[in-house]
Structure formats: structure tokens, C-alpha cells
Amino acid sequence: MRLSRYFLPVLKETPADAQIVSHRLMLRAGMIRQQAAGIYSWLPLGYRVLRRIEQIVHEEQQRAGHIPLLMPTLQSAELWQKSGRYDAYGPEMLRITDRHGREMLYGPTNEEMITEIVGNYVTSYKALPLTLYHIQWKFRDEVRPRFGVMRGREFLMKDGYNFDLTREDALHAYNRHLVSYLRTYERMGLQAIPMRADSGPIGGDYTHEFLVLADTGESEVFYDSAITDLKFGDRQIDYDDHAQCQAVLEEFTSRYARTDETHDAAVFAEVPEERRRSARGIEVGQIFYFGTEYSEKLGAYVQAEDGGRVPLHMGSHGIGVSRLLGAIIEASHDENGIIWPEGVTPFQVGIVNLRQGDTETDAACDALYAGITALGLEPLYDDRDERAGGKFATMDLIGLPWRITVGPRGLKSGKVELTCRRTGESEELSPEAALARVKQIYAPHHVHLGHDLVEPMATRSFHTWM
């Protein structure tokens, strides 16, 4: 993309009403625009990152064997009356009446609807196990929408639902989700720690929230610092293997890590003092096993092997897709702007032309642009007729992890400069060597080009990547 043809409305001033750094940076970098309290337009740069995050979620869900579908944003009140949540949800639910006087609502979540779907079509145990998910906009009329996309009213969520014959199978689905979430967040350059959360009236240990540590987080958390040494890395998991998933879950949940709702000072005191931490965290996901409650209320029963009719065991699992942009920026920025992890960056490489209009410099930039594109990556080329300082400031603000600077002086000795946004370190290299480095840097990351991001998942590229 050439910056001169792009739509990147960066702000010079720091927006006064944005309280936390990620909100300020998203506004300054021209990623979002507020349209009403807690409701945003996603401007091109923000939209790109949103789609990259979605793409990672799709790939990791499907790697775990989960099946995508798409349910509507509007739902009928009737479904929710059956589950008893229509009244229980209270003022957070946005209620709408259509022209025929039918009560509708903008979905805050989809347990009722998916249970109704599965209940209608699945009749035999042979169709199980089954996990369906979608990535869809939700609306919750939050009392205090704030912090930009972190606590919006309209927000994008991946919500998935498992349907199993037995409690044991449903617990495997729970474990499988925990494992696949670990991998999902790591691909986004995030450390999200599974913490024991409040399971509400259902009881038991079967809910974990995933938290990204950040001072601006809304949750208070307590943990054993040893947990931050754990990395999922590139381990290969067979998601059908119960024992393997169970082992990973145990590895990642055996250390003390709890939200304030489940915090137990006496148990925490057993953690060696030098490893005891209390901190703030941002909830970027939650997994849940809740048994047969919804199946019974909404009629999701199957015929078991012995011929009996049994309600399905269910769980639900959410990832805060739009909130993740804020969480990633909170975890990765400096005083000059955002620092995108390679996995989610809107463009992989920035090209800065120090003398726009100079034949040789322009030609070298064009050649790099073509070279980066040929690698299957997307460059953002600052080809504006602007001073170097302004170009660098924009690149730093929007946070592309790698920048190639091209100027007449360097070109005299056949060199361009490759700069790492995170460390600020630069290397003088030939354009060919710079391309080779870029290729090497992005080799572990699977990058989907913008134009195929419109598809939920391009099977072809997914397979080449696996």
C-alpha cells in the first residue's frame, strides 16, 4: 500500500478524553472513530488488525476441530424467555421491537440460539462430539463503556459452543479449548494467563479466564510468578487426544493464578513469598463447562447408544476479538507509539523514502516494494512528499515492527537501513540482504494478504501453513 493513496487519518494532538494509552494510540493512529458511546467505526488501519486477529482465531479454532458458522446479531426474545435469561439479563440487553410488535434483542451472546439449532438437527449420539463457533458482533449496554474498544457496547467476540454426550467428553472439550486458546494468544504475541475464575451458581472449577497482565486492566489478579515462565511454543498437539490436552491444562493451571472472585489468601500464602504477585489484568477470554442446563431448557437431546434420550453436555468459550487490539497495545507500546507483534501487524514492513522524487531513491523503493510483495507480505510505503522526521514519527506511531529506510546517501554505497521498531536497532544492508532478513523474520508467521482476509478461512493457505 502506498501511503499517498491510503486512508490513514492520524491525529497530531493527544485526544483529551482517552484515559488509557491503547485508546489514545488507537485514536491517534487513525484506527478507530467513536460513533456513539462504546460504538466505533473501524478505520482501515484498525480494520486490518481486527481482521488479522480474527484470522488467527479462525485458524486456531479450526486446528482444534471446531466448525465455523454465522448466527445473526438480532435474536427473538422468545428464545431467551425459554432459558429464563430474558428477564435475568436486565438493562445490559438492548431490546428492540419490530414493526409487528415482536420483541427482539441485539444478542449479547448465543447460548440459546446455538442450543436451539443443535437441538433441531442433532438427534443421535453419532453426530457428537460437536463444537460450533462464530465471530460476530455483540451488544451489551454496559453501564460504563470506556477505554475505547476494551469495554465497548458493540464489540466483536468469538463464541464457541461444545455439545457432547457425556460430562467426560465435555470436559475434554473444555481442556481442548484451554490448550487452543494458549496457542491463539501466543500467536498474537501475547501472554494470556489462564486463571481460575468465578463459576457462579453452577459451582465447580470449570471456568477459566485468560488475562493479559497490564496496569490498566480492570480485573485484580493474584498469581505465582513462576507461571509467567511457561510458554506454549510450537508444540504439536493432537486435539483429539484427551490425555495430551489434560496434561497441557495441568501444566498451565497447576500454579496459583486467580481472579479476585476466587482468590483465597490462605492458599496464596503457600506460594513462596518472592513469587507472590498481585496485579491488574485484562480479560481477553473465558471458557466454561456448564452441563445440561441449556440443553434441557431449549430441548437439545439425543438418542444415546442404549436408545435412551439424554440432554447434551455443553460448554461455551469466548474470545474478546475487538478487545484484543487494546490489550495488545497495552502490552506493547512505547512513548512514540504502538509496537505491533509480527503476528498481527497491519503491514509487515514500512518503507520510508527519504527523498521522494529522486529517480534513484524512488526506483530503489519501488524495487523493495515489489520484493516484499513477492515474499507474500504487505509493505506500507510512505511515498508522501514530507520530511523524514514526519515520516519516522508516523511509522513509529502506527507501530509497524520493521522499517526500511531508503535515502540517496546510503544508496551511493548500495545500502538501505533496516530498523526494528521494538529495539530501535538499525542495520545497514544491501536491498537484497534486507529482503532476506525480512523473509527470515516472517517465516514463522503465517501472513494472509489483505485481499483474502475477507474469507473466514482460506483452506489452501491454511494447509500450506500446517
- Give me the residues that bind Mg ion (CB under 5 A), please: 286
In the complex, the smallest distance separating the C-beta of residue 55 from ligand ATP, rounded to whole angstroms, is: 18
Read off the C-alpha cell for 465: 501453513
Stretch 16-45 residues interacting with ligand ATP (CB under 6 A): none
Q: Maximum distance among all alpha carbons in the chain?
A: 81
Contact partner at residue 285 from ligand ATP, Mg ion, none, CB < 5 to 8 Å by partner kind: ligand ATP
Question: Per-residue x/- marks for ligand ATP, 107-146, CB under 6 A?
Answer: --x------------------------------x-x----
Closest Cα to residue 224, out of 264, 184, 182, 164?
A: 264
What does the alpha-carbon distance between residue 297 and residue 288 come to, in Å, rounded to a whole number? 18
In the complex, the smallest distance separating the C-beta of residue 42 from ligand ATP, rounded to whole angstroms, is: 13
Would you count residue 152 as binding ligand ATP (CB under 6 A)?
A: yes
Would you count residue 155 as binding ligand ATP (CB under 6 A)?
A: yes
What does the alpha-carbon distance between residue 434 and residue 452 come to, in Å, rounded to a whole number? 26
User: Which run of H or E residues covers position 222?
Assistant: strand 219-224
Would you count residue 283 as binding ligand ATP (CB under 6 A)?
A: yes
Q: Is 324 exposed, middle or buried (CB count within 10 Å of its CB: 0-12, 13-18, 19+)? A: buried
Stretch 192-231 residues interacting with ligand ATP (CB under 6 A): none
Cβ closest to ligand ATP, residue 61 vs residue 394: 61
Read off the C-alpha cell for 167: 460430562
**Count of residues that interact with ligand ATP, criterion CB under 6 A:** 15
In the complex, the smallest distance separating the C-beta of residue 40 from ligand ATP, rounded to whole angstroms, is: 10
Residue position matching grid coordinates 429464563: 84
Cβ closest to Mg ion, residue 184 vs residue 286: 286
Residue position matching grid coordinates 425459554: 82
Q: Which of 55, 253, 286, 332 binds ligand ATP (CB under 6 A)?
A: 286
Q: Are 400 and 350 in contact (CB under 8 A)?
A: yes
Read off the C-alpha cell for 346: 497491519
Residue 178's CB is within 10 A of a number of other CB atoms, namely 21
Q: Which of 30, 46, 281, 285 binds ligand ATP (CB under 6 A)?
A: 285
What does the alpha-carbon distance between residue 58 and residue 67 come to, in Å, rounded to a whole number? 9
Q: Which residue is nearest to Mg ion (CB)?
A: 286
Q: Candidates 28-36, 236-244, 282-290, 341-349: pick the segment binding ligand ATP (CB under 6 A).
A: 282-290
Cβ closest to ligand ATP, residue 106 vs residue 155: 155
Contact partner at residue 155 from Mg ion, ligand ATP, none, CB < 5 to 8 Å by partner kind: ligand ATP
| Residue 408 phi, psi (nearest 5) | -60, -35
In the complex, the smallest distance separating the C-beta of residue 157 from Mg ion, rounded to whole angstroms, is: 10
Q: Which of 30, 119, 160, 320 binds ligand ATP (CB under 6 A)?
A: 320
Cβ closest to ligand ATP, residue 99 vs residue 144: 144
Tell me the three state secondary structure of residue 179: helix
Amino acid letter, 14: T
Cβ closest to ligand ATP, residue 35 vs residue 124: 35
What does the alpha-carbon distance between residue 228 and residue 226 come to, in Å, rounded to a whole number? 5
In the complex, the smallest distance separating the C-beta of residue 162 from ligand ATP, rounded to whole angstroms, is: 15
Cβ closest to ligand ATP, residue 174 vs residue 381: 174
Residue 225's CB is within 10 A of a number of other CB atoms, namely 15
Would you count residue 161 as binding ligand ATP (CB under 6 A)?
A: no
Bridge-based pairing of strands 207-213 and 276-291 is: antiparallel
Would you count residue 160 as binding ligand ATP (CB under 6 A)?
A: no
Cβ closest to Mg ion, residue 287 vs residue 458: 287
Would you count residue 323 as binding ligand ATP (CB under 6 A)?
A: yes
Would you count residue 86 as binding ligand ATP (CB under 6 A)?
A: no
What does the alpha-carbon distance between residue 130 and residue 323 come to, in Å, rounded to a whole number? 27
Contact partner at residue 46 from ligand ATP, Mg ion, none, CB < 5 to 8 Å by partner kind: none
What does the alpha-carbon distance between residue 395 and residue 377 come to, in Å, rounded to a whole number? 17
Tell me the three state secondary structure of residue 292: coil
Three-state SS across 33-76? EEEECCEEEECHHHHHHHHHHHHHHHHHHHHCCCEECCCCCEEE
Q: Candidates 98-106, 149-157, 173-181, 246-254: pick the segment binding ligand ATP (CB under 6 A).
A: 149-157
CA atoms within 13 A on the CB side of 220: 6
Q: Which residues in this chain contact ligand ATP in the complex, by CB under 6 A?
A: 109, 140, 142, 151-152, 155, 157, 283-286, 318, 320, 322-323
